[in-house]
C-alpha cells in the first residue's frame, strides 16, 4: 500500500530501503528515491525547521542546527543508506543502455522507485506504456513542518509594449476557464482557475481514471510556500555553490556539518563583496534591516550559527589542480588576496587570517589553480 499523507522522513527512508534493488553483482539496479539538488533540498530544510536565508534575505543561514540536521538526513539517504543516487551516479546510469540522465527518464525506465514531482510529470508519464496502472501519488514527507516549495508561471504586460491591447486579450484568455481546461487535458501542471481546480471533472478525470490523485496536488499547494532569494547574489550562483558542495559531500570528502558551514561562508562572502561594491545594494540592505551595512560585522554577530566566525571556507570543494572557470578564478583571486592564508586539509581548502599567496596558471582550454601553503 502507498504511504498515507501524514508520513514523515523516517518512514520515507524505510520505504525507500524496501524499494531498493540490487543486481546479482551487488550494484544498485533501482534506487528508492530520485536525486536531490538545491531546489529539492529547499523544502527538506524547511521541513526540518531551517531555512536557506534569514527573514530579511540578507545573509545565508544554512549553518543553523536545523539546516545541518536536514543536510545530515540527506547525507544519510545519499551516502550511508544509498537509497538515492548522487548527480554523478544518476548521470552514469543514464549513459547505460541509451537511457536519458534526468530523474524523470530514470523513473520512466523504473531505475528510480519514488520521485518528487508536480502534476506536470504526467505529460511524460502518460506516454510510457510500462507505467500504466502502476503510478500512485502521496504528499511529500514532513518533519517539523510539511511545507515545500511551490512554483508558478507569471505573465505580465510591458508598459511600453506597442501591442498592449492584444497582450491584454492574451492575459484574459490565460485567466479564463477555457485555458484552464486546456491545462487539465494536457496535464501540464494545475489549472490557473481555482474553480476548475475544484471541479469534479478535474478531480476525477473520466479520460484518465487511473489518475485518482489530482486532489493531492491541490492539497500540496495549501501546504506550499514560495521561495525567495536575496537581491545581493544571483539565484543561479547560489544553486551552483550549493550543488558543488553537495557533490563534495556525496563523494565523502566532507561531513554534512562541514558542507553547511562551508557553503554558508561562501554564499555570505559573495554577498559581502557585492554589498561592498555597490551602493544600491547597501541602500537595499539598509531598507531591509534598518541599519547600515558594516563589512566588519557581516553577517551580523549572532546571525549565523557560529556568530560570524573568522574562518571562511570560500574554496571548499576545490582541491589543488581542480579546474576553475574564469569567474571562479577572478572571485578566488580577490578573496585570497584579502582574506588570508590558505590552509589545506582532507581535500578542502579554507581561508583563514594571515597573508595569502596563490599561483594561477592559465591553460589553453581551462584555468587551473595551484594553491601554495605559506
- Shared domain for 361 and 242, answered yes or no, is yes
Structurally, the chain folds into a number of domains equal to 2
pLDDT at position 145: 87
Confidence grade of residue 222 (pLDDT, cut at 50, 70, 90): confident
pLDDT at position 331: 40
Confirm whether 188 is domain-assigned: yes
* Tens digits of residue pLDDT in 307-353: 333 223 333 444 444 444 434 433 443 333 333 323 333 333 333 33
Of 223, 249, 268, the position where a domain reaches its end is 223
Q: Whose CA is closest to 245, among 318, 341, 336, 329?
A: 318
φ, ψ of residue 352 to 5 degrees: the values are -125, -175
Cα distances (Å, whole numbers) of residue 35 to 12, 103, 348:
14, 7, 24
> Crossing angle for the helix pair 164-174 and 177-186, nearest 10 degrees?
60
- Shared domain for 213 and 240, answered yes or no, is no
- Shared domain for 239 and 347, answered yes or no, is yes
Q: What percent of the chain has pLDDT over 90?
A: 61
Helix (H, G, I), strand (E, B) or coil at 70: helix
pLDDT at position 2: 84
Average pLDDT over residues 185-194: 91
Euclidean distance between CA atoms 374 and 366, whole angstroms = 25
- Shared domain for 242 and 365, answered yes or no, is yes
pLDDT at position 365: 26
Cell matching residue 331: 572571485
Euclidean distance between CA atoms 335 and 239, whole angstroms = 20
Query: Of all helices (H) and strands (E), which one includes residue 274?
Result: helix 256-277
Q: In the predicted model, is pLDDT for residue 100 greater than 80?
A: no
- Shared domain for 293 and 346, answered yes or no, is yes
* Tens digits of residue pLDDT in 36-86: 889 899 999 999 999 999 999 999 999 999 999 999 999 999 999 999 998
* Tens digits of residue pLDDT in 354-371: 222 232 222 222 223 333
- Shared domain for 211 and 322, answered yes or no, is no
φ, ψ of residue 21 to 5 degrees: the values are -130, 140
Confirm whether 37 is domain-assigned: no
- Shared domain for 266 and 349, answered yes or no, is yes
Euclidean distance between CA atoms 136 and 212, whole angstroms = 8
Confirm whether 44 is domain-assigned: no
pLDDT at position 348: 31
Confirm whether 46 is domain-assigned: no
pLDDT at position 223: 87
- Shared domain for 304 and 356, answered yes or no, is yes
pLDDT at position 347: 30
Residue 182: domain span = 164-223
Give the torsion through C-alpha atoms of 195, 219, 155, 60, to 10 deg: 160
* Tens digits of residue pLDDT in 261-299: 999 999 999 999 999 999 999 999 999 999 999 999 999
* Tens digits of residue pLDDT in 103-141: 888 899 999 999 999 999 999 999 999 999 899 999 999
* Tens digits of residue pLDDT in 9-27: 999 999 999 999 999 999 9
Query: Of all helices (H) and strands (E), which one includes residue 30?
Result: strand 28-33
Please, what's the b/e burial string for 84-103 (b: 16 or more CB within 10 A of its CB; e: otherwise)? bbbbebbeebbeeeeeeeeb
pLDDT at position 13: 97
- Shared domain for 245 and 362, answered yes or no, is yes
Confirm whether 64 is domain-assigned: no
Q: Whose CA is closest to 99, among 86, 110, 113?
A: 110
Model confidence pTM above 0.85: no
Peptide bond into 299 cis (omega under 30): yes
- Sheet with 28-33, side-by-side order of all strands: 21-22, 28-33, 112-114
Euclidean distance between CA atoms 177 and 197, whole angstroms = 10
- Which residue in the block uniquely carries the three cell numbers 510556500? 225
Residues 6+ apart with CB under 8 A from 80: none
* Tens digits of residue pLDDT in 249-262: 999 999 999 999 99
Confirm whether 346 is domain-assigned: yes
Amino acid at each position: 500500500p502507498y504511504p498515507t499523507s501524514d508520513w514523515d522522513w523516517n518512514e520515507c527512508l524505510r520505504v525507500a530501503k524496501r524499494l531498493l534493488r540490487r543486481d546479482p553483482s551487488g550494484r544498485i539496479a533501482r534506487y528508492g528515491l530520485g536525486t536531490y539538488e538545491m531546489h529539492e533540498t529547499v523544502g527538506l530544510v524547511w521541513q526540518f525547521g531551517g531555512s536557506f536565508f534569514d527573514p530579511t534575505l540578507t545573509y545565508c543561514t544554512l549553518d543553523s542546527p536545523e539546516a545541518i540536521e536536514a543536510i545530515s538526513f540527506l547525507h544519510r539517504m545519499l551516502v550511508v543508506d544509498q537509497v538515492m543516487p548522487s548527480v554523478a551516479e544518476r548521470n552514469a546510469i543514464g549513459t547505460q543502455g541509451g537511457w536519458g540522465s534526468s530523474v524523470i527518464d530514470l523513473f520512466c525506465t523504473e531505475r528510480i522507485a519514488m520521485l518528487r514531482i508536480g502534476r506536470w510529470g504526467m505529460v511524460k508519464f502518460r506516454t510510457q506504456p510500462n507505467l500504466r496502472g502502476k503510478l500512485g501519488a502521496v504528499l511529500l514527507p514532513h518533519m517539523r513542518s510539511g511545507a515545500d516549495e511551490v512554483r508558478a508561471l507569471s505573465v505580465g504586460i510591458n508598459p511600453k509594449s506597442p501591442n498592449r491591447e492584444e497582450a491584454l486579450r492574451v492575459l484574459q484568455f490565460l485567466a479564463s476557464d477555457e485555458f484552464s481546461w486546456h491545462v487539465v487535458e494536457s496535464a501540464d501542471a494545475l489549472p490557473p482557475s481555482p474553480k476548475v481546480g475544484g471541479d469534479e471533472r478535474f478531480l476525477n478525470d473520466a479520460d484518465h481514471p487511473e489518475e485518482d490523485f489530482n486532489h493531492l496536488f491541490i492539497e500540496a499547494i495549501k501546504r506550499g510556500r514560495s521561495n525567495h532569494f536575496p537581491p545581493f547574489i544571483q539565484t543561479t550562483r547560489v544553486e551552483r555553490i550549493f550543488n558543488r558542495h553537495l557533490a563534495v559531500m556525496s563523494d565523502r570528502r566532507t561531513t554534512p556539518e562541514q558542507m553547511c558551514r562551508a557553503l554558508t561562508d561562501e554564499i555570505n562572502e559573495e554577498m559581502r563583496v557585492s554589498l561592498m561594491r555597490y551602493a544600491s545594494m547597501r541602500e537595499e540592505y539598509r531598507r531591509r534591516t534598518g541599519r547600515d551595512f558594516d563589512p566588519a560585522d557581516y553577517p551580523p554577530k549572532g546571525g549565523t550559527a557560529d556568530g560570524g566566525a573568522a574562518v571562511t571556507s570560500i574554496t571548499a570543494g576545490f582541491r589543488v589542480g581542480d579546474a576553475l572557470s574564469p569567474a571562479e578564478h577572478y572571485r578566488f583571486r580577490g578573496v585570497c588576496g584579502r582574506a588570508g592564508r590558505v590552509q589545506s586539509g582532507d581535500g578542502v581548502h579554507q581561508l583563514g587570517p594571515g597573508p595569502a599567496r596563490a599561483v594561477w596558471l592559465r591553460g589553453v582550454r581551462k584555468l587551473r589553480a595551484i594553491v601554495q601553503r605559506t
